Structure 1
Amino acid sequence: MEERINKINKIIQGIGSFEDYLNHKEEILEEVQNIERDRQVLNFKFERLLKDKNVLNSLLKKTTEDLKNAVEALRFRAEELSILLSTIPALVYFKDTNLKYILVNKSFERFVNLPFYGIQGKTVEELITEYKTNNYAEMELEVIHSGLPLYNIEEGIEKDGKEVWLTTNLAPYRDNEGEIIGLVGISWDITFRKNYENELQEAKEQAEEGTRAKSEFLANMSHEIRTPMNGIIGMAEILKQADLGEQEKENLDILISSTRSLLSLVNDILDISKIEAGKIELEIEDFDIRNTLKDIENIIYIKAEEKALDYKTFINPNVPEFLSGDPSRLKQIILNLVNNAVKFTLKGQVHVFIDIVDEHDDRVKIMFKVHDSGIGISEEGKKHLFQLFSQVDNSTTKNYGGTGLGLSIAKQLVILMKGEIGMESEWDKGSMFWFSAWLDKSSRTTAIPEPFDREFIFDGEASKKLYILLAEDNEINQKIIQYSLTNAGYSVDIARNGQEAIDMYHQNNYDLVLMDVQMPILDGYEATAHIREVENVIMNGSQRIPIVALTANAMKGDREKCLDAGMDEYLSKPFTPNDLIGIIRSVTD
């Protein structure tokens, strides 16, 4: 604008006449108009500046207020964080890159029993003289150098003469630029938990030791009970073959029956021990389920006949002839249910039903039901029926006998077979016990051999004239086994311990060894190992004499231990002469 005014002044100064004025009039008017326009523009810009100033003042005021609020919020958050750090029981601390403390919370101060000014700038070793860092400092430096956190670091320290356990999380501590300037740690005192864990571990070890002691006790008791029971049953079976009167034979039957009842109780106790230890397993093999049911009928028939009960078994034709499972355990379950049914049924019938309820590819789910017309079970009596030592009421033992173990064992065996077990009953109207079990279909197409003839052992004719070495230290067992073998037509030599068995093995050419596993001087395992070594080293494996283990042990693993030692079969005491001859035939025929 100033330039335009100066231009007008120059024009005016150059006007010398009216004619000059007229010549420059238009130019002067144009410049005046330009000046007016510039004035208007300046006024507009000035007004805009005034408005912008007001806006800027308003923005500045708002920004100032926002900044003030932010500072107040930060102060409040800082106070919250400070309160949080001062009240939480965990130990929180910040360290610089030299692992010296730059900030700690109140819990940390209480832990080291020092105020902050006594902690700042010091290392942990300077605070706790008994502190044993091990490689803890290395882990802190690793966090600083790597920039990666570490979690759940457990460390034991000695503080005030006591062991204290801490678990710690570590993370890098960064400045505003993201540079690592130290680390932050948070530690929890886990001494109580550690002590509790140690107590639990000690209790676990004591419990395991108790379990081992119980297992050893049961194994020893089993051996000590089964050995004389073998003598009782064996001698009673031998006496039955003598020319006795009917009363004497009946007395012997009672003796054998009572001994078998005692054996059944021992077996139940051993099964419970295995179940509690989680060591009971199924031994899978092919079997004919109809033969199994026939065996059960033969066992139950006499008891049912004594009460004039109608005992029958009904099996659906769609049930496969051959299955794969544990026939011994399956028989144990069915026998338990059937025995109970016969025991608690005074008149009427006991019927067993077997059918398929499910089928998948090569497996079938079979349902077993045992119906009886017995005394039934009350609602209260049903509640604990499948628990250990449980019976309907205390009078049950007095009136009918039993220990209350059978159903509990049956339940555990059914669970192993991936099945279920249950019952329906009404007081004074009878009961129906049932269970299901998954069994594999068998690929067998030929019949499973029937058990050997029970009259065989007393006819004095053996299918083979065998020369047998009996290694047995118990004199009663020696006599019973020798009588059974000679009566079956076998020749027998007796060794009283493992060393004698080895000596006699070298001196004679035996066809079979019956080896007791627990003998003085040298046990059956060691004697068997020697014989197998001789066969392998001297005879180059060209000859192998069958060895059958005779043992009163019946705990889990005993059979496997015998087979692993090189024995060919296993016979658990007490056994009958029939059992003995049957197993001899199985390894020699």
Structure 2
Amino acid sequence: MLGQEKTRELLEQELERLRNENHRLKEELTSLKEKETNQSFKEKYAVRILESLPDMLTVFNHEGTGIGVVSSEETNHVGVPNSAFAGMHMRDMIPEEAYHNVYNNLQKVIATGKGSTAHHELDVNGTHHYYENRIFPLDEEYVLIMCRDISERVVTQKNLEVFKRVLDKVSDSILAASTDGTLVYANKQFIEEYGVKGELGVQKVYDLPVSLHTKEIFEKRVQEIRDNGGNMGYHARYTRVGEVKERVHQVSTFIMEDGQEEIVWFFTQDITDVIKNRDELRELNYLLDAILNNIPVYMFVKDPEDDFRYLYWNKALANHSKIPASRALGRTDFEIFPERSDAEKFHQDDLELMRTGERLEMQETYVTAAGETRIVQTLKTHIPLVGRVPLIIGISWDITNVQNIEQELIQARIKAEQSDRLKSAFLANMSHEIRTPLNAIVGFSRLMTTTDNREDEKLYSEIINQNSDVLLQLINDILDLSKIEAGTFEYIKQPMDLGEMCRNVYEIHKGRVQEGVTLTLDNENDSLMINEDKNRILQLITNLITNAIKFTYESEIHFGFKLKKDYIDFYVKDTGIGISEEKLSHIFGRFVKLNSFVQGTGLGLAICQMIVEKMGGAITVESELHEGSTFRFTIPYDMYNKQEKFKKNAEREQHLKVAIKSLQLRTLLVAEDVDSNFLLMNTVLGKKYKLIRARDGREAVDMYKENHPDLIFMDIKMPYMDGLEATRLIRGYSKDIPIIALTAFAFESDRERAIEAGCNDYLTKPVSQEAIEKILDKYSL
């Protein structure tokens, strides 16, 4: 259409020029008749001017007889030389069909007295040509016929018509407009889709129901195209004529120059259904990926055609193996597993599966990237594919914990059986241990009532006191064990001098050692102020010294303490009978007695271990049979007090947080356009928090201003406005609201862009419940 308009305009200009030229020639002819002797400039150059024209100029009378050719021989195309032209009739010069076209045009000019244009065709030198004949009346007898070869223009126009018919068949809407918005071309699809009714060349683009619905918007878009190097693409929303549902177009544009004018072309493709299908597929992929990455089993896929390289590696496998999917995908077992023997075993299983085609089930172990040994129950089978070798899919259940639990249950059963035996032995021993001192107490109490001898009374009293102490120690041990197990064992810290307490212990026990044995305190003159439970420290040292006294029959016993930076090291070293190596591992067990002939419950060392561990320390023993033993226990010094204070403060803060949380339900804004992703977040958090949802960035900004949530989970890729732009706008209202980017984009550059936009943290989809809860804990929610 544009080409036609241009051609018409050029023809009208040429016609006007020829009219002017004809008028000029007529005036010259008149001037020649009137002033034959007076030759003007025009007269002098008229012939040369006519011969320079590209048209064939001929003069005919009204009957169609040639008078003469006024143009050069080069323009002659009728096959009759200029010299033979005069007197020959028009029908003898050109074929019949061409003759009728020219002759009819001649009769029109004679009848109207005005110039007229027609077209005819001729074969010249074996080539078909198209001509335009323009006839102008010269006077009452003669006419001027101007013939111009327009073959090139006709061919161009025909090609243009073919091109237009092709464009009318395509499903895309195509239009062209001048830079002022005038519609100069539109294909059939555009005309029907947008209801174009006005004339091309008159109607404006921005008057149509398109996205460029105002002059300002159109001019801005044209400037954007120029700024983009003359071409660009963008999405546009519109509503078809006769419909109410909004659709989406992908628009490609470019600017072309047509002569002195710029023409903007728009090629628009309806991608509404494509976007819908893409979103549905993306949602399905996200849902499937979320499911596969949240099931507690390993899942992987290998490609046998590519050296059994991994194509899929789910989150459970990454978490347990400590090998991320980014390091596993596209690699073989030999490239990712630290133990070659594991990789070799997996490879042999793959080869066996490909050879037999039968699925494999086995229990196997492997070493993770962290050096941990895991046990899995694995199933491998084929995934049939058309036109290629099947893929291998593997599913593994990690049964390491199950195996560990089974072993723990076995050990617990063995321990329970041992405890049952020990308990029976303990009860039997208690009967003996209680009755022995009780027998002495009862017996010598009766004897005291029958004797008058002062020496006997003193002896009997000492025996009764000694056995009372033994009986009291037995009862205290049993009560201490019960308190520790019930959690009611008391620790009362107070400032104390450790050196002074050790000197008191020494004074009490130095006379209780057996004959030939010396008790020595290595810290005889030392003092050390500590803040601890004096009774428990005394109980520990006394118990260890008492045991040393029982089993040391000669030489010496040493005890004392050393301050080592942030802990205190206590020790009791004897030269007694010692302990065999096989019994050392049981020495701190309950009801354990290494010598059944020595009084005691077998609970003392077990109670010591519990007390020391409760204080944050540890107790150990070094011993050789017949060479003596050294018992040590350590407790924290200054660091211990600081840790206890920090722990209590932390516990108080935690209780306070829990109390505050229990008073109100915190509000979380989830900006997510995919329904399944929001459903997952709601399933994880819906019971503990109030969730509100925004389906795009614009809604997220509006809902923040309306609801003022406590935290925002912001998806990055959303319609209308993405998450980064929404975050920037929200930051304009609040600098403090925690915003967590939650997206499928996983590159470091994506994380940097999110943080730049104002996000506080960044989570990559698929995201686990543990990661979400960790983020909420971080921001005290």
- Shared topology, TM-score over 0.5? no
- Which has the larger Rg? 2
TM-score normalised according to structure 2 size: 0.30
* Structure with the larger RCO, 1 or 2 (CA within 8 Å, 6+ apart): 1
Please give the TM-score of this superposition, normalised by the length of structure 1: 0.38
